[in-house]
Amino acid sequence: MSNDKYATPLSSRYASEEMSHVFSLRNRFSTWRKLWLNLAIAERELGLDVITEEAIEQMKQHLQITDEEIKLASIEEAKVRHDVMAHVHTFGDTCPSASGIIHLGATSCFVTDNADLIFLRDAYDIVIPKLVNVIDRLSKFAEEYKDLPVLGWTHFQPAQLTTVGKRATLWIQELLWDLRNFVRARNDIGLRGVKGTTGTQASFLALFHGDHDKVEALDKRVTELLGFDTVYPVTGQTYSRKIDIDVLSPLSSFAATAHKMATDIRLLANLKEIEEPFEKSQIGSSAMAYKRNPMRCERVCSLARHLGSLYNDAVQTASVQWFERTLDDSAIRRISLPSAFLTTDILLSTLLNITSGLVVYPKVIERRIKGELPFMATENIIMAMVEKGASRQDVHEEIRVLSHQAAAVVKQEGGDNDLIERIKKTEFFAPIHSELDSLLDPSTFVGRAPQQVEKFLANDVKKALEPFKDSITSEEVKLSV
């Protein structure tokens, strides 16, 4: 890679080798050759004797394009101003016995569109197992901390207690929906197939001298040879760009999940309750040596915003495709489709790293609960006093006065919440002084959170991950800088 040319950080800095390969030039052009080979095989099987066994064997031997051939094709493209024809010529020079039949009956979209659909499916096959592992690791975290009470927040203001594990299930549930959407989108991807210049299959009908059955058989056979179950029954010159909307929609939806989860962890890091992993030699700030910035979660939020925006590219492109096709889809799709999957891949790798090493600080969590729980416990205290024979209205007034006094200590003096100490010193509350500790047990304020976690993991998560159990791994995930 040249240091004098811009390279997208998606591939040069962040994304995995396997995802970068899917959208690489070598894979693109080698896939074109695979498409030409399978078209020739199917055409020969259906009676086109002009395609010889020698031609097919030569094509099989040169499916993987070399660096030199990529260079020669680039030179040819500069002359003819057409990328597909440049590669037809280059492949033909490499396979002289096949030079006259490569691309027979096909239009450029036979290779470009069918290849894109192959790449989209292959890319989903990379990100789905990674998402499964994020869910699996986060589920283990939820199980470990299902009973640990923690202050809940609504409007980012103190609310009723929940547990650390229960909060994690909120992230997991959204990830499960993303997994469902990924799998649906992946399995819905079909092949454009063999449709000709405007989708009428006229060129192939001519090749087979008006035999409609053979044209249909050709479409089906090429689809089978390329490992697809579905071929789109009708197309224009291209497959409908609405397919790209269906492909990118789950990725953009996942971006929202990732952003929300990473934001929660960033806020928890500020509260010093939970932190992402922090390496021994990692530097948080060039000026402030003590800092532990949540840089992984910040990266997630940053890239998730980019991923979420790419959905609009697909929507806008699909909406302006005139009749059987226009070419204003080409440049944007070369950018948005690879970017979407490269970014998804990066987000999942980063989330895998984060969920593998989340650090919890129970003492900080306990201290924050103690600061807020006395106010939350007032209803329990009122009910306990009423059981001892006191008037609810009288108890409420006593609590109100003491609560305002305690709040003033916290807000105006910066002190600790001393409401319980005030209650202990107030004779009015003597009937329940011995019960105050039990009334303030945090575990009694979390409702069914632990049981919800257990049931959710045992039922919903287990069922969702069962088909992917062979993909689950404990492999450590290293991040790029």
Query: Annotated catalytic sites, by residue?
Result: 155, 285
Please tell me the distance from the alpha carbon of residue 164 to that of residue 238, in angstroms, as a whole number.
50
Amino acid at 375: F
Cβ-in-10-Å burial (0-12, 13-18, 19+) of 21 comes to middle
Q: How far apart are CA 48 and CA 206, in angstroms?
A: 12
DSSP string, 321-371: --TT--STTHHHHHHHHHHHHHHHHHHHHHHHHHHTS-EE-HHHHHHHHHH
Phi-psi region of 414 (alpha: psi -120 to 50; beta: other; left: phi over 0): left
Render 152-209 in DSSP notation, one character per residue. Answer: EEETTEEEEEEEHHHHHHHHHHHHHHHHHHHHHHHHH--B--S--SSSS-HHHHHHTT
Neighbours of 242 (CB within 10 A): 14
Supply the angle between the helices 108-144 and 164-188 in degrees, to the nearest 10: 160
Q: What would the two tokens of residue 1 be? A: 């890679």
Q: Please, what's the b/e burial string for 119-145 (b: 16 or more CB within 10 A of its CB; e: otherwise)?
A: bbbbbbebbbebbbbbbbbbbebbbeb
Give the C-alpha separation, 73 to 186, whole Å: 32
Strand-pair partners of 162: 150
Core vs surface per residue 163-188: b (16+ CB within 10 A) or e: bbbbbbbebbebbbebbebbbebbee
Provide long-range contacts, Cβ within 8 A and 24+ apart, for 50-55: 50/100, 50/101, 50/104, 51/101, 51/104, 52/97, 54/97, 55/95, 55/97, 55/98, 55/101
Amino acid present at 57:
E
Cβ burial, residue 363 (10 Å; 0-12/13-18/19+): exposed
Count of Cβ atoms closer than 10 Å to residue 370 Cβ: 15
What end-to-end distance do the CA atoms of the chain give, in Å?
Answer: 18
Sign of CA dihedral 143, 147, 148, 149: positive
